[in-house]
Structure 1
C-alpha cells in the first residue's frame, strides 16, 4: 500500500518542525513541507531545513500568497496540516480555496495547536476576543468547503511550560509562581509527542470532523502537583509566590505588548482550566480513547 502523502505548511516554525519530523518518522506517510523561495534563502532557517531534509521530509516549492504554486503543491498530496502563526491565521482560507481547486485533499488540520479558551477567559481579557474571532472563521470555512478536517488541541507545550514549572517564562531558580490556588488541572505535552499524535489524528477516520484533545494521563496535573513532582525528582524545595486572577489581568493590561500573552495564557491554563475540558463537548474526542497505546514522555521524564 502506497504511503499517505502529507504536506505541512509552516514546517520551519516551532511546532511545525515537530509535526514534519513526526510525519517523516511514520512509515505509512510520505512527508512534504511547503517551502517558499524566501524561506529557502534565509540563513537563519538553514539548520531546520537541513534537519527536515535529513529526516526525509521532501520540499515542495510554494507560497501561501501564490495561489498557483499552492494549488500545484496541494495536487501532489492528500492531507494538509497548517501550522502557521498568529499573523497568518486568517490567511488559512487561502489554503482552503487552493485545496478545493486541487481536488486531492482528504483531510485538513488547521493551525489550532494549543488550547481552546473558555468564554470566561476571553471575556476576562477583553481585547483578546478578536484573536478567537479570527480563529473561528477558519472552521466554518472548512465545513462549507466540504473538506474533512481535524482540529488538534495539544494543550501546553512542554518546552514552554516546564522550565517555569507551569509559569510561562524563564526557568525557575528558587521560587515558583503559583497561579490562584494551584489546584486547577492542566495538560502538558512534549512537542515531539504532539507531532506523533497529530499525524495519527490526520490519518484516523475516527478523527474526521472532530476536535482531538491531547491528554496523556500522566501529564494531567495541577500546578501544585507539578511543583511537588519537580521537588521529588530534583531533590530540592521551592519557595512559592501566589499570583491571583486579578493580578494576571492587571499584568495583561500593563505588560509590554510583546509579552502580554504570558499572563493571558497563565490565566487560561491554571485559573480558567482551559486545557482540561471534561466532560468533552459533542464533536470532541480524547487521545486517551483514540490512542491509548502511544508511548509518550511523561512529565517526570521531561523534568
Structure 2
C-alpha cells in the first residue's frame, strides 16, 4: 500500500522552483502535520527575509549542510515524506539524501527534483548531457527497499522569469528562442508549428501538492502533467493579442539550433529536445491527481509573462 503523507521535509525551498512548490505546500498546511525546510546556515543569513516569511507561514526551519549525513539524518526524524527541489547544479546531492531516507525508519516517500523534461522519454534520452545526474537518481530509486517515490514530470516552465520559455533572451542570444515584450519580437524554434507542453511554476507547486495527496495513484512512477500544450506560433499570436500590437517574427531552424547547441550545450540542448517534440507524451496524467481543471491556460501564462517582463 502506498504511504501517505503527514510530515514533510523540503530541500531547496528557496530556489527558483522550490519557492513555488514550498508556497503551495504551505498554502495547504491544513492537510499536513509538520512542514519543515532544510537549508544551509548561509541561506538563512543571505535570504533572511524569505526565511522569515516561510516561518510566518508556518514552516519549521532546520539549518544544516545538505552534504552532512548527520545533519540530514537528524532532520529526517519524524518526517515521512521528503520533497526535493534542489537545482540542476546540485542534483547529485540527492543520491545521499535517498540512501539515508531509505535507511531511516521514519521516511516513507521521496519526491526527487524532476520538474522538467522526462529524462527517459526516448531511447536516445539516456545519452543527453542534461539528463545524466537525474538518470543516476532514478537508477538509485529503482533499487530502494523501503521508499515510495514519484517523479513529477512537468515539461519546461511556462514563465518569463530569467531565461524560461516565455521570457526574453538578450538580442545576442535570441536565436535560442525568445518572446520579447519590450521589443515586440519573437524568435520561434523550428518551423513554429511544433507543439510543446508547458507548465507554469505556480502550477508545478499545485501538481506536487496534488501528487502528495494522491499516494496510490502516483506510487513508484513518473506522472506527466502540464498546464497546456501550444505551438510557438500560437504563443506569439497570444502575445500579439494581449499587447495589442503586431510582433516581428523570426525563426531558428532545428538545424541551426543544433549548431548553437554544439557551441553552447547546456540549456540549448533542452530547447532542442523540446523543439523535436520531447514533451509530447501520449497522454497527460493531470486526472490522476485531480487537476484536469484548475491549471493555467495559454492566456493566463502569457498574461503573467507580460507582467514579469514589464516589471524587469
> TM-score per shorter chain, which class?
0.7 to 0.9
The answer as to whether partners of 2:39 and 2:66 remain within 8 angstroms in 1 is: no
Paired position in structure 2 for 1:175 = 185
* SS of residue in 2 equivalent to 1:88: helix
Q: CA 1:40–1:162 in 2, change beyond 3 Å: closer, same or farther?
A: same
Q: How far off its partner does 1:95 sit?
A: 0.5
The answer to whether the aligner puts 1:266 opposite 2:266 as a matched pair is no
Equivalent position to 1:194, from 192, 195, 204 = 204
Inter-partner Cα distance in structure 1 for 2:125 and 2:177:
19
Q: Which runs of 5+ in 2 are unaligned?
A: 303-312
Residue-by-residue CA offset, 1:143-186 (whole Å, 9 max, x unaligned): 21121100011212122222349965573422211111211211
| TM-score (norm: length of structure 1) | 0.85
Inter-partner Cα distance in structure 1 for 2:267 and 2:41:
33
The answer to whether the aligner puts 1:211 opposite 2:213 as a matched pair is no
The answer to whether the aligner puts 1:161 opposite 2:172 as a matched pair is no
Residue-by-residue CA offset, 1:36-89 (whole Å, 9 max, x unaligned): 2222222xx223223322222211223221111101111221100111122221
Bigger shift: residues 51-60 or 66-75? 51-60
Q: How far off its partner does 1:251 sit?
A: 1.2
Q: CA 1:246–1:138 in 2, change beyond 3 Å: closer, same or farther?
A: same
Bigger shift: residues 160-169 or 105-114? 160-169
Q: CA 1:3–1:245 in 2, change beyond 3 Å: closer, same or farther?
A: closer
Alignment coverage as a number of residue pairs:
284
Paired position in structure 2 for 1:7 = 9
Aligned CA RMSD, in angstroms, stands at 2.5
| TM-score (norm: length of structure 2) | 0.82
The answer as to whether partners of 1:72 and 1:102 remain within 8 angstroms in 2 is: no
The answer to whether the aligner puts 1:129 opposite 2:128 as a matched pair is yes
- Counting only pairs closer than 5 Å after superposition, residues 83-122 of structure 1 correspond to structure 2 as 83-117=85-119, 118-119=121-122
The answer to whether the aligner puts 1:21 opposite 2:23 as a matched pair is yes
* SS of residue in 1 equivalent to 2:133: helix
Inter-partner Cα distance in structure 1 for 2:122 and 2:5:
41
Q: Which runs of 5+ in 1 are unaligned?
A: 280-284
